[in-house]
């Protein structure tokens, strides 16, 4: 257990160093008048594989010292997510919406073009509501690498925060996972730190 906690600290330090050098880009709705930070995603947002309170949005809330809404649904694709965007996000006075999708689209063989089109619709609707958007990159090495460039390009073109490679060092490390894909409690802590470092400059 001690070695696992030590690894969490080491990986978090690497994440901080990697992201500290990223230039602060112009983000649409940076002056958002919204109130809530909403994590909108699938099982990685929901916290599959861990106990309630060990998911990344809960850890992120502790790090930010402010409420964070977990709007993750296990098994969600970008298509099903669009159907609940209004009730779970737009109606909740968002300030920042963190979009984390793609894994289930891949598993269900949704064409990549459709995934990006759906994600782009989410971005447009959230930004139209006056909130900032962060797009989470679920890739790690060759794992989901086909989504990395598309997500980054969308973030750049739409003025979104980009959160790179949240599963790097987790997906290939059995001590960081609860099953073949999902993180364990330590893995979700690392994801929370990586999201924190990406979004924090835009919340001040």
Give the whole-angstrom CA distance, residue 132 versus residue 203. 10
The CA angle 76-114-83, to the nearest 5 degrees, is: 40
pTM of the entire structure?
0.88
Per-residue pLDDT for 9 more than 60? no
Per-residue pLDDT for 6 more than 70? no
Give the whole-angstrom CA distance, residue 141 versus residue 165. 8
What's the alpha-carbon Rg for the chain, to the nearest Å? 16
174 secondary structure, DSSP code: G
Give the whole-angstrom CA distance, residue 160 versus residue 26. 8
**Which residue, 118, 142, 137, is CA-closest to 22?**
137
Q: How many other CB atoms sit within 10 Å of the CB of residue 64?
A: 16
**Which residue, 65, 117, 72, 66, is CA-closest to 98?**
72
Structural domains for the chain:
2-202 (3.40.50.1110)
Q: Tell me what the pLDDT averaged over the chain comes to.
A: 89
Matching residue, tokens 């050098």:
21
Burial call 18-52: b when 16+ CB within 10 Å, e when fewer: ebeeeeeeebbbbebebebbbbbbbbbbbbbbbee
Is residue 178 exposed (0-12), middle (13-18) or buried (19+ Cβ within 10 Å)? middle
Write the pLDDT tens digit of every residue in 55-111: 999 999 999 999 999 999 999 999 999 999 999 999 999 999 999 999 999 999 999
Matching residue, tokens 């929901």:
46
């Amino acid at each position: 257990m001690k070695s696992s906690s030590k690894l969490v600290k080491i990986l978090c330090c690497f994440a901080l160093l990697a992201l500290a050098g990223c230039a602060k880009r112009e983000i649409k709705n940076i002056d958002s008048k919204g109130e809530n930070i909403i994590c909108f995603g699938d099982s990685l947002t929901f916290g599959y594989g861990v106990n309630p309170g060990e998911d990344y949005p809960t850890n992120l809330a502790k790090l930010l010292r402010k409420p964070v809404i977990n709007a993750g649904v296990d098994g969600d694709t970008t298509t099903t997510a669009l159907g609940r965007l209004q009730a779970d996000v737009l109606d909740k006075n968002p300030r920042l919406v963190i979009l984390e999708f793609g894994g289930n689209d891949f598993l269900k063989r949704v064409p990549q073009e459709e995934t990006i089109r759906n994600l782009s619709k989410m971005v447009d609707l959230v930004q139209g509501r006056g909130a900032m958007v962060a797009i989470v990159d679920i890739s790690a090495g060759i794992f989901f690498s086909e989504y990395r460039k598309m997500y980054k390009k969308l973030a750049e073109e739409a003025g979104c925060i980009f959160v790179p490679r949240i599963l790097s060092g987790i997906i290939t490390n059995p001590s960081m996972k609860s099953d073949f894909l999902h993180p364990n409690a330590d893995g979700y802590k690392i994801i929370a730190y990586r999201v924190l470092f990406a979004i924090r400059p835009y919340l001040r």
